[in-house]
Every structure is written in C-alpha cells, then in structure tokens.
Amino acid sequence: MAFESDVEVTVNENQQPQPQPQPQPQPKIQIYPTSTGEISSFWREKYERDAKKYWDIFYKRHQDKFFKDRHYLDKEWGSYFSGAGRKVILEVGCGAGNTIFPLLAAYPDIFIHACDFSPRAVNLVKMHKDFAEARVNAFVCDLTVDDISQQISPSSVDIVTMVFVLSAVAPEKMPVVLQNIRKILKPDGYVLFRDYATGDLAQERFTCKEQKICENFYVRGDGTRAFYFSDEFLRNLFKESGFNMEEHVLCCKQVENRSREIVMNRRWVQAVFKAAGGRTGKEVNHQEEDCSKPKVKDITWKDATNRSEIDLSEGMGIEMLGISSSSVEITDIIIRDDNFKIKVLSKEYQHTCKSTGLMLWESARLMASVLASNPTIVAGKRVLEMGCGCGGICSMVAARSADLVVATDGDTETLNLLMENIALNLKSPSLARLITKKVEWGNKNDIDSVKQLNEKGFEVILGTDVTYVPEAVIPLFATARELISSSKVVKDREPALILCHVLRRVDEPSILSAAYQFGFRLVDRWPEQTPTGPFLGMIKSWFSNGDLELPTAALTIMYFQLSTSD
C-alpha cells in the first residue's frame, strides 16, 4: 500500500533519503488568553454564597422599577385563581410585589403568602400603598435552605406562583426548592411557572463573555444569576420532584426600541404543574408561540395577546444589550488644579467585565499627574497612548501642551465611552489636538491607519497598565516599534516609550526581554530598584516637587528608548 506524503526527500547513492524540513507557519498572535467560557470555581462559590447580598443590592438600586406589574396574570391563569372558596396563594420570590398587587386588585377574596430571600425586597412589598396584613403575609425565606412549612401550614396553599424566580437558583438546588413548596401545596394545588427559555437574547449575549457558571446558567454583571430552561430540563426537573406537567407553552416575541435602533428577541417558557397523584383537571397542552407573527400550522392557538406582555421593563432589555446609563457611574478625578468627570463602568459590574478598559486604573491617575506637573514631557511633541481605556485622562492632560495626541484602544465599547469623556472634559484648542483611534496591537491595518495620521512617528508613546496580560506584551512592543519616531533628534528629545503599571501577571524580566526583542532599551526606571542600571534619573526629577500623591506603592514607571537611531 502506498501513502502520499507532503515531506520532500533528496537521494544520492551514499546516503539514505532524508526528509527536508518544511517551513513552519508563523504562530498567530493572540492578545487575550483563550477563554474556557466558564468562570473559576472561586467566583462560582462566591456567587452562590453571596446570592442574597447581590439581590439585596439589586433591589436597593432598582426599587420597584425593574419588572413590570403583571396585569396579564388574570387573563393567562384566571381559571386557576377564580372559583368557589377563598384561594390561598404563595408567591415565591415576590420581589417588589409585581405579581402580588395586580392579583389582589383582580381577586378581592384571595390571600397571598409572599416570600423572598432579599430583606430589601420584602420591605418594598410591605411599604407598598396597597399592602395589608389581612391579605398579605410577606416574609424573608431562602427556599434552598429554610423550611417554608415553619412559616406556612402544610398542605394549605392552592396555588404557587413562580414567575422569573427559579432561574435565580443554582440548578443543583432547584429540586430542594420544589420539594420545599410541595410541603405546603394542597394535593390538588397547582404551580404556575414562567421563566427564561434557552435561546433568549440575554443568553446569546452571555456566550460572548466569560460569565458562564455551568450549562445554561450565567452570572450577570451585577452578580445576580440567571438560568435558561430547555423543555427537557424543565419537564424532568418537575417530574423528578413529584409533579406532572399540565400545560406548557414556549413564547417568543421580538421587541424593538426604535430610538436606540435595537431589536430584542425574547423567549420564555410558561407551564402549569400539579403534584403527582392529584386529580388532573386539564389535558397536557404543549405549544410554541411566536407572539409577533400570525397564527400558523395546525396548532390550536390561544389568544396571542395573552402572552404578548414581557415582564421585564424596557430598561432591563436595553441593559442586557450592553452598557447602559444605569451601569455607568461618574467619578471625579482631581489632577492638580483640574477636576475631570470620568464615566466608567460601575464597580458592581466590573467583576464580570472582560474589557479592562472600562475601568480607571491607578497607573493612569499617577501618569496623568506626572504629565500635569511636568508638561515638558509632552510639550510640542507628537504623543500616542496605547490601551488608553475609557478614562483617557493621560491623553487629555497631554493634549493641553502636545502638538498631537492619538488615544487608542482595541475595545469598541471602551472607545465609545472614551469619546463621551473627552467631550465632557475638553474644550478647544485641546479638543482639536486629541484624536481617538481603534488599534488592536499587532493588527497591520490598525497600525497603518495611525501612520496615516502621523507619518513621522510619535516622539512619546504612553501605556498605563498595558502589561497586564502576558500574551499582550509581545504585540505591545511590536506595535510601539512600528509607531515610534526613529528620526534623529537632540538628546533630550529622543523618542520614548513610557510605561506605568503594577507588576501583576507579567514580571519585569519578561517585559525587558520583549522590549529588547524589538529594539528598546530601558534607560530609566522609578523607583530605582533594579540591577540593570545606571539610570538617567529623569523620572526621579518628575517627583522632585513633592506634590505628587502615589495611589499605591506598587506602581512602577519604565522609560524606554530605541537602542539605535536610524
């Protein structure tokens, strides 16, 4: 049997054929490490441990504005709430009362037990203008831990409503919740269920971020969690907990926000369950429904308007699509006599944000202060900032005395916020000297687009905490080498690459090795604690006035120049 091979061989009479090595393809530069798609075990355990705290913060922030009042419930499930005798209802995860008070208004005879593991949410219910102890028993309860039969008599509840609540529970603890509520449910009682379905817009967005806890389970930016139910998972979950499915509908709706030109495809599942062994009152009815399209196929559709309402407010839907005004906070940054108002991602969202550029790092504060105290560093020069982040305070300070400043970052959302901050803080003529540009390190097209702005190269290149990711160090220096000026100039104006950072995942020898590879040499350092001296002492003079405050003692400034001049 003969085999074809891609290896070339040469043969002569005195030697055996020897394979000739083929040229190996150049490895692709990957700036960010390959993502596993899942968060670490440390964060997984933290989100579980602090679940109550994150939801309490959620209700502190949103109050009762996040979910819409569910006025559709009497249309959708009216036959369960009406009938002979006074109905007793348990609302699990009552939140601010968006289910409770519409039901009280529609059914004057019902009594509602309402529980939530967020004390702040329960307080919101009790503070509602329509709250009355004669009709509502609101209490704090964590159904994954607490025995609800200590609060409600066993087998006394006709209906349990679970509307967008089970999705906040870790999937391995969902059976505990169902067993808990089964204790207080009457033998012929029902569980009315509505929650997120797989394929919902929000789940699709999570796939692009490192926010996955496990299959179909994710953490939001604010620390709260969301599970997305498939039909099979939902059916098996309730079946194994002793419930039969009485009804099941998958609802789909397209929501459009014309002012923001955003289209949101929402999916949720709605179902009715009954304890196994109880008398069945309805036939199982499985449906899939697109509420935005005409009724089709041979399915007996119910009134489409019944399920056209979405529980979530429009604001929440917009928030799921990215950074919104509610996830951004304004920080006051004082640089010498100037007060900058900088929009950054709120701290509560930073722990799940993949882009480090949406935060303001201490190194940027220090470098901006250095430039403000020592304007001659950039005065009359062409300046480039690499990985400037959304704050851009170094570039804004430099624009006051430099001839040209180009602020660059590789993240689109970061650049959008950066442009807002520049418009908020700079005026002419400084504003005219500052240009923003998207640059991914190592990307030839991005580098060429910057060269078109300034063919001579840059006399000062700045970078604050841009050595955070090990895989980014080589592309960083490669890009800096392409863009730094190589013209012969007087000694005190030799082009320089200035880095300010806290050494974290990349040590200093690795930085120096990468710098040397691309023709840079370290000529000054602060603090002067390194065996590779002697140094110019230039950086030390920047601090001679004694008016610079050091945000953290771990900060380091490294001053590079090209090894040779062309």
Domains of the chain: 41-320 (3.40.50.150), 325-562 (3.40.50.150)
pLDDT of residue 299: 26
Neighbours of 71 (CB within 10 A): 14
Structure tokens at 558: 């490294």
pLDDT of residue 261: 57
pLDDT of residue 366: 92
Q: Residue count of the chain, please give it.
A: 566
pLDDT(286) > 50: no
Contact 205, 321 (CB under 8 A): yes
Separation CA 558–CA 539 (nearest Å) = 9
Q: Can you list the positions of beta strands (E) in 448-554?
A: 460-464, 496-502, 520-526
The residue with greater pLDDT, 225 or 40, is 225
Structure tokens at 49: 């441990």
Q: What is the mean pLDDT of residues 227-238?
A: 95
Structure tokens at 209: 């971020």
The residue with greater pLDDT, 265 or 533, is 265
DSSP-based three-state secondary structure for 93? coil
What is the band of 132 on the pLDDT scale with cuts at 50, 70, 90?
Answer: very high
Structure tokens at 315: 């604001």
Q: Tell me the pLDDT tens digit for each residue of 370-396.
A: 999 999 999 999 999 999 988 899 999
The residue with greater pLDDT, 176 or 544, is 176
Contact 437, 26 (CB under 8 A): no
Could you give the percent of the chain with pLDDT greater than 70? Answer: 75
Separation CA 117–CA 130 (nearest Å) = 21
User: C-alpha dihedral over 195, 196, 198, 203, to 10 degrees?
Assistant: -160
Separation CA 498–CA 513 (nearest Å) = 16
Backbone dihedral angles phi then psi of residue 138, each to the nearest 5 degrees: -100, 130
pLDDT of residue 258: 58
pLDDT of residue 540: 87
The residue with greater pLDDT, 534 or 530, is 534
| Alpha carbon 194 to chain centroid, angstroms | 25
Whole-number mean pLDDT of the chain?
A: 81
Contact 542, 376 (CB under 8 A): no
Neighbours of 519 (CB within 10 A): 16
The residue with greater pLDDT, 532 or 420, is 420
pLDDT of residue 9: 36
Separation CA 474–CA 348 (nearest Å) = 32
Angle at 474 between CA 472 and CA 475, to 5 degrees: 65
Separation CA 113–CA 151 (nearest Å) = 9
pLDDT(532) > 70: no
* Distances, alpha carbon 558 to alpha carbons 260, 299, 389, 547, in Å: 44, 70, 19, 20
Considering only 11-20, 83-92, 159-168, which range has the smallest mean pLDDT? Answer: 11-20
Contact 543, 557 (CB under 8 A): no
Contact 386, 415 (CB under 8 A): no
Q: Tell me the pLDDT tens digit for each residue of 302-346.
A: 333 334 566 655 444 444 444 454 567 788 888 888 888 888 776
Q: Tell me the pLDDT tens digit for each residue of 389-427.
A: 888 999 999 999 999 999 999 888 889 889 999 999 999
Separation CA 150–CA 184 (nearest Å) = 10
pLDDT of residue 327: 67
What is the band of 566 on the pLDDT scale with cuts at 50, 70, 90?
Answer: very low
Residue with tokens 């509560």: 348
Q: What is the mean pLDDT of residues 524-539?
A: 71
Separation CA 146–CA 450 (nearest Å) = 60
Considering only 9-18, 186-195, 304-313, 358-367, which range has the smallest mean pLDDT? Answer: 9-18
Contact 502, 555 (CB under 8 A): yes
Separation CA 208–CA 460 (nearest Å) = 35
Contact 374, 401 (CB under 8 A): no
pLDDT of residue 41: 84
Q: Tell me the pLDDT tens digit for each residue of 468-503.
A: 788 899 999 999 999 999 876 555 578 999 999 988
Phi-psi sector, 341: left (phi>0), alpha (psi -120 to 50), beta: beta
Q: What is the mean pLDDT of residues 139-151?
A: 94
pLDDT of residue 536: 66
Separation CA 143–CA 130 (nearest Å) = 26
pLDDT of residue 197: 93
The answer, as to whether pTM is greater than 0.85, is: no
DSSP-based three-state secondary structure for 237? helix
DSSP-based three-state secondary structure for 360? coil
Counting beta carbons within 10 angstroms of the beta carbon of residue 328, is it exposed (0 to 12), middle (13 to 18) or buried (19 or more)? middle
Counting beta carbons within 10 angstroms of the beta carbon of residue 140, is it exposed (0 to 12), middle (13 to 18) or buried (19 or more)? middle
What is the band of 278 on the pLDDT scale with cuts at 50, 70, 90?
Answer: low
What is the band of 263 on the pLDDT scale with cuts at 50, 70, 90?
Answer: low
Instruction: Looking at mean pLDDT, say which of 33-47, 123-137, 478-492 comes out highest.
Output: 123-137
Residues 6+ apart with CB under 8 A from 68: 98, 309, 310, 311, 312, 313
DSSP-based three-state secondary structure for 302? coil
Separation CA 258–CA 421 (nearest Å) = 25
Separation CA 220–CA 457 (nearest Å) = 42
pLDDT of residue 102: 93
| Alpha carbon 27 to chain centroid, angstroms | 30
Neighbours of 530 (CB within 10 A): 13
pLDDT of residue 22: 54
pLDDT(239) > 50: yes
